[in-house]
């Protein structure tokens, strides 16, 4: 038996005891009038009527259990329904989140570029090459060619090194950077006489054979100069070869050939004549283990531009 029922029974017992006590007292006093009996009835009625009110002061749950036990069951059902509703709301929220994530994935897929792969014949200078059906991809209007096409054109092996994230063209055994341009090696060309160096767009440009260059150097007029005009290089034994193109600078007012001398560690290793009447000449020199290099021009009233200067490690 719970607390509410005990309390209710206690109130009833007290009411009965009071009623019996009053009745017995009146009987002993031989009072048997209607007024007394009515008073007893009234007191008992009031006590019984106040019992539910008193019980609510102690425990509302107990009161419900005593006077309306079916309500307690409804309350439990209501709590269960609330839990089910909360679970459903959580499930719906999860489904909405999954739906949003799927939509985002779909949108990202729609944004991706998809390629159209086609096979095409290779034609070089008007000549269709036999067995040259090559693949290419068209992505958003841009053409991407298979490496075999470049192999055909340059007649060199092309390979991609994913670890170095570099594309190597040429000897497939060489997958290291072994060549550097002059402008990428700081302070190699460190001084000279009649020397104008070009290594950035801010230093201007020069012209050779009708072409404009922003990287390289120009040696001025060397005629009537005992030591000529020259550039000095600090190789520090780090390079094995140097190569470059040289031609008369287009702004020179004379067309005059020049004599070129190449010195390694102070010793002459080569003497060449540079023609001022052809666009350019290409030279290569072995500089292995050399500490210093000097390129000098003599006996010319023309200026000469040097470009595509390459050093091999």
pLDDT value at residue 91: 86
Q: Which two tokens stand for residue 40?
A: 């007893």
- In this predicted structure, the answer to whether residue 55 has a pLDDT above a threshold of 60 is no
Short-list 214, 211, 231, 213, CA closest to 222 = 231
- In this predicted structure, the answer to whether residue 181 has a pLDDT above a threshold of 70 is yes
pLDDT: which is higher, 231 or 138: 231
The pLDDT-based confidence of 244 (bands split at 50, 70, 90) is very high
Indicate the average pLDDT of the chain.
Answer: 75
Neighbour count for residue 229 (Cβ, 10 Å): 24
pLDDT value at residue 103: 80
pLDDT: which is higher, 310 or 145: 310
Mean pLDDT value across residues 168-194: 70
- In this predicted structure, the answer to whether residue 147 has a pLDDT above a threshold of 90 is no
- In this predicted structure, the answer to whether residue 80 has a pLDDT above a threshold of 90 is no
C-alpha–C-alpha distance, residues 67 and 49, integer Å: 13
Of 39-48, 51-60, 129-138, the one with minimum mean pLDDT is 51-60
- In this predicted structure, the answer to whether residue 24 has a pLDDT above a threshold of 70 is no
Fold of 180-312: Jelly Rolls (2.60.120)
pLDDT value at residue 22: 62
Query: In the chain, where are the structural domains located?
Result: 3-67, 116-175, 180-312
pLDDT value at residue 54: 55
- In this predicted structure, the answer to whether residue 84 has a pLDDT above a threshold of 60 is yes
C-alpha–C-alpha distance, residues 305 and 223, integer Å: 16
pLDDT value at residue 88: 84
pLDDT value at residue 110: 63
Of 89-93, 147-151, 217-221, 272-276, the one with minimum mean pLDDT is 147-151
Query: DSSP of 157-196, one letter per residue?
Result: -EEEETTTTEEEES-TT--S--EEEGGGSTTSEEEEESEE
**Cβ-Cβ contacts under 8 Å for 47 (sequence gap 6 or more):** 11, 14, 15, 18
pLDDT value at residue 20: 61
**pLDDT, tens digit, for every residue of 115-125?**
666 666 666 55
The pLDDT-based confidence of 44 (bands split at 50, 70, 90) is low
- In this predicted structure, the answer to whether residue 236 has a pLDDT above a threshold of 90 is no
pLDDT: which is higher, 113 or 264: 264
Cβ atoms of 313 and 179 within 8 Å: the answer is: yes
Strand intervals (E) in the chain = 116-120, 123-124, 127-128, 134-139, 142-145, 158-161, 166-169, 179-181, 189-193, 195-198, 206-208, 211-213, 216-219, 229-234, 241-248, 258-264, 267-274, 281-286, 292-298, 304-312
158 torsion bin: left (phi>0), alpha (psi -120 to 50), beta (else) = beta
> How far is C-alpha 249 from the chain's CA centre?
46
Cβ atoms of 169 and 153 within 8 Å: the answer is: no
- In this predicted structure, the answer to whether residue 165 has a pLDDT above a threshold of 60 is no
The pLDDT-based confidence of 277 (bands split at 50, 70, 90) is very high
pLDDT value at residue 270: 92
C-alpha–C-alpha distance, residues 296 and 294, integer Å: 6
- In this predicted structure, the answer to whether residue 30 has a pLDDT above a threshold of 90 is no
pLDDT: which is higher, 97 or 70: 97
Mean pLDDT value across residues 54-79: 60
C-alpha–C-alpha distance, residues 113 and 255, integer Å: 55
Kindly state the percentage of the chain with pLDDT values over 90: 24
Tokens 């029974």 belong to residue? 9
- In this predicted structure, the answer to whether residue 184 has a pLDDT above a threshold of 60 is yes
Short-list 235, 225, 228, CA closest to 264 = 235
C-alpha–C-alpha distance, residues 251 and 229, integer Å: 17
What are φ and ψ of residue 130, in 5° steps? -65, 140
């Amino acid at each position: 038996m719970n607390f509410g029922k005990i309390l209710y029974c206690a109130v009833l017992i007290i009411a009965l005891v009071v009623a019996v006590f009053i009745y017995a007292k009146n009987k002993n006093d031989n009072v048997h009038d209607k007024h007394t009996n009515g008073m007893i009835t009234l007191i008992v009625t009031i006590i019984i009527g106040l019992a539910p009110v008193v019980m609510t002061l102690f425990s509302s749950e107990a009161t419900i259990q005593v006077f309306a036990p079916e309500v307690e069951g409804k309350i439990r059902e209501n709590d269960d329904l609330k839990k089910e509703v909360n679970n459903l709301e959580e499930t719906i929220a999860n489904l909405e989140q999954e739906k949003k994530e799927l939509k985002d994935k779909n949108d990202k897929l729609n944004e991706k570029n998809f390629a159209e792969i086609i096979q095409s014949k290779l034609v070089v200078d008007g000549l269709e090459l036999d067995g040259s059906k090559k693949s290419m991809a068209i992505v958003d209007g841009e053409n991407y060619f298979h490496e075999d096409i470049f192999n055909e054109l340059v007649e060199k092996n092309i390979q991609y090194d994913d670890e170095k994230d570099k594309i190597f063209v040429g000897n497939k055994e060489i997958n290291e950077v072994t060549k550097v341009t002059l402008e990428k090696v700081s302070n190699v060309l460190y001084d000279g006489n009649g020397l104008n160096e070009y290594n950035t767009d801010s230093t201007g440009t020069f012209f050779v054979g009708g072409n404009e260059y922003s990287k390289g150097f120009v040696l001025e007029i060397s005629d009537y100069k005992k030591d000529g005009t020259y550039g000095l290089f600090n190789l520090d034994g780090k390079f094995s070869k140097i190569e470059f193109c040289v031609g008369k600078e287009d702004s020179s007012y004379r067309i005059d050939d020049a004599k070129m001398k190449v010195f390694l560690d102070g010793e002459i290793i080569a003497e060449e004549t540079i023609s001022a009447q052809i666009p350019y000449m290409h030279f290569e020199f072995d500089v292995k283990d050399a500490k210093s290099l000097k390129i000098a021009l003599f006996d010319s009233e023309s200026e000469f531009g040097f470009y595509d200067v390459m050093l091999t490690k």
